[in-house]
Structure 1
Amino acid sequence: MTKYIQYIFLLLVVSINNIYAQSEKKATNNDEMIFSNDQSIENWLKENKIPTLGLGIIEDGKLKEVKVFGEIKKGISAPNNTYFNVASLTKPVTAMVALRLISLGKWKLDEPLDQYWVDPDLANDPRHKKLTTRIILSHQTGFPNWRWMNTDKKLNFQFDPGTKCQYSGEGFEYLRKALEKKFQKSLDQLAQELIFQPLKMNDTNYIWDQNINESRFAIGYNKEGQPYPTEKRETANAADDLHTTVEDYGNFLISVMKGKSLKPEIFQEMVKKQVKVKDDLYFGLGFAMYDLGNGNYALSHSGSDPGTRCIAFLLPNSGKGILIFTNVDEGQKIYEKLIIHYLGEDGKKILEIENR
């Protein structure tokens, strides 16, 4: 993994590069055998010590397959409606809440946020006046990923906002506080009204409440197979710890791909190259964007927390996509074969960009 990507994306794409750099070989006949039937996939997962895999396949703009493999607990097969903690795959949902509000004319992409929220740590730094929704959704705030990574545990600007890209969960939390202040509603309430209810995402929530059936939750594991404590948030985090199912998040991705509930000009801003990361890799609004050539592109986001590795890719021009959820620290090691098998040549191009 390059130092540049490690610095910018931190938890976002660390899992991608760790595995993609392992091999540049094309899919072999043995790889094809893995996907010949569900039992072959189950065997492959056991070999790689993946307790649970959630897989969503999008074709022709529709969620064609929803499958969950492995066991949710010893001896009990994981159901297709298994809950996963999807870590930073929370961020695209938060982004769509903001973009939906912008499409409704209730929020502005380039309005300074200081009239709604100023973090106390930044009150004496005039650069907070430069913070906008566009800058936050394209990871140009200048913030660290999390303030606790700083020696003094305080939020600060590591460069001027809007001058370059650096991945930051703090930016999304900043946006949450501004949205909540203006609308006098919690982020989870806004998401329910704007995203979850319209898309019938009944198994998706920022918070752990009485509606979550814990018997369906995929507990996270470390590489030694030891379980992590389950994070049960009582308040929303705009950047992390969303709980959802493959079907719910797959339907969310389809709505993103089709620009549902967004004005056309807002959708175009979402898929615009807002800031360059490296050759053929950019950030749009809420998603990383791969330039695959000839007008073709992929939108992507990943998630990485203790006990969860997950990733999603969308190809809006072809209507294809893939969603991968795992519940183990080394879940990323199965990404490459899945992406090449289901996304074909486009998947290979994505890997080539990552390996540059």
Structure 2
Amino acid sequence: MHALRSVRRAVLAVAALPLLAAAQHAIPAAAALDAEASRLMAATQARGLAVAVIDAGRVVHVRAYGERNAAGLPLLTDTVMYGASLTKAAFAYTVLQLVEEGLLDLDRPLAAYLAQPLPDYPDDRRYGPWSGLAGDERWRRLTARMLLTHSSGFANFAFLEPDGKLHMHFDPGTRYAYSGEGLILLQFVLERGLGLELGAEMQRRVFDRFGMLRTSMTWRADFATNLADGWKDDGSVEPHDPRGRVRAAGSMDTTIADMAKLASAIINGEGLSAKGATALSTPGLPITTASQFPTFQPELPLVERRTDLAAGLGVVTFLGPQGPGYYKGGHNDSTGNTWVCIKPKKRCVVILANDVRAERAFPALVRFILGETGVPWRWEYGGLTFVD
């Protein structure tokens, strides 16, 4: 029996070695980070990239590399860049504050907050075309939690539907399918149902609270003097879009210095109770597909699913060799962003790239900074070819 216990201890010790090695990974010094970022930019031909690193909940590196526009002006740590879908995580943090104040219940049907049935509201270009839901009473089951975990049943956006109308493709809350339209619906409920103005709420509750001086949900004139345009996959330039409408799904302009403050604040749970802060990155809904897009691809057989992968509130959660973590990506034709956090040591990396080609370097750069994390890169990016 003693020998058996010894063998078991030895097996457990060997099994723990990868976890121990990952946990002991040292955050690289600034010079090493600069060199690796330069190497990966050359490998991907990316023209601009910015990185922030948080260790033990503190910001330890904020770096910017390359150019912010075709004129060759340098990308700086206070250059305004497009936040894309990183907006969704900041929005979720705002929603959780409203929940803690008793203004919203994550699990109460959203119909209870509206003065009339959702499909009866006139279609408004600021929101979704809710009239498409007429005749489908499943909309009455929708809750804030379902929308934040991308389980509404909506397409990513209604304009992607063949008829341009909004439809529910499955019973709400039953599976994950990425939907910006779901976040816009929650914005609609906050604004029309609760009488809030989302841009002002996010400014007060998040951007001002954490000292994010060059971040906004809409365009500001003072951004123009230090602003990043973007590069597409073919190397062409796309001018920065001065977004004039607040969109919970992705209208945020920000800087890498400001995103460092936000990542640090959220990993430390600032602005929320311990319970509220934990709710953001608690696994809430299993993710059952091989990749994030296309949205309505068939679910994998049970034996092929990654059991540690789940939707949190506005983020994706995973379990890797360093313990539980969460991440959020952001993307358009000329933007590639990612935000990865490992919870036990309160370590995070935020990458903002004004060149979509930089996405191919994200796994290597995050691994260089944090070590092996378990981020589901292949699920996030599908068939994209990564560089080492």
Counterpart of 2:337 in 1: which secondary structure? Answer: strand
**Is residue 280 of structure 1 aligned with residue 291 of structure 2?**
no
**Is residue 291 of structure 1 aligned with residue 301 of structure 2?**
no
Corresponding residue of 1:179:
190
Name stretches of at least 5 consecutive residues in structure 2 with no aligned partner: 1-27, 119-129, 288-305, 383-388
CA deviation profile, 1:308-329 (whole Å, cap 9, x unmatched): 0110101121111101111122
Q: 1:48 offset after TM fit, Å?
A: 2.3
On the 8 A contact 1:140/1:163 being kept in 2, the answer is yes
The number of aligned residues is: 321
On the 8 A contact 1:86/1:309 being kept in 2, the answer is no
Aligned CA distance change for structure 1 residues 40 and 112 (closer, same or farther; 3 Å) = closer
On the 8 A contact 1:288/1:299 being kept in 2, the answer is yes
AA matched with 1:111 = R
Corresponding residue of 2:68:
72
Corresponding residue of 1:59:
55
On the 8 A contact 2:84/2:335 being kept in 1, the answer is yes
Counterpart of 1:98 in 2: which secondary structure? Answer: helix
On the 8 A contact 2:233/2:333 being kept in 1, the answer is no
- Mapped to 2, the partners of 1:243 and 1:115 lie a distance apart of 32
Of residues 333, 356, 365, the one that matches 1:329 is 356
With the length of structure 1 as denominator, give the TM-score of the two structures. Answer: 0.84
Q: 1:40 offset after TM fit, Å?
A: 6.2
Counterpart of 2:238 in 1: which secondary structure? Answer: coil
On the 8 A contact 1:34/1:44 being kept in 2, the answer is no
Question: Which range moves more in the overlay, 117-126 or 184-193?
Answer: 117-126
Question: Which range moves more in the overlay, 154-163 or 74-83?
Answer: 74-83
Aligned CA distance change for structure 1 residues 286 and 328 (closer, same or farther; 3 Å) = same
On the 8 A contact 2:336/2:354 being kept in 1, the answer is yes
Q: 1:223 offset after TM fit, Å?
A: 2.3
**Is residue 319 of structure 1 aligned with residue 357 of structure 2?**
no
Counterpart of 2:32 in 1: which secondary structure? Answer: coil
On the 8 A contact 1:280/1:353 being kept in 2, the answer is no
5 Å matches for 1:104-253?
104-117=101-114, 118=118, 119-211=130-222, 213-253=223-263
Which structure: larger Rg? 2
Q: 1:263 offset after TM fit, Å?
A: 2.4
- Mapped to 2, the partners of 1:292 and 1:167 lie a distance apart of 22
Q: 1:334 offset after TM fit, Å?
A: 1.2
Identity across matched positions, percent: 26
Q: 1:33 offset after TM fit, Å?
A: 12
On the 8 A contact 2:37/2:365 being kept in 1, the answer is no
Question: Which range moves more in the overlay, 229-238 or 117-126?
Answer: 117-126
AA matched with 1:86 = G
On the 8 A contact 1:279/1:353 being kept in 2, the answer is no
Counterpart of 2:375 in 1: which secondary structure? Answer: helix
AA matched with 1:271 = S
Counterpart of 1:80 in 2: which secondary structure? Answer: coil
**Is residue 350 of structure 1 aligned with residue 375 of structure 2?**
yes
**Is residue 49 of structure 1 aligned with residue 77 of structure 2?**
no
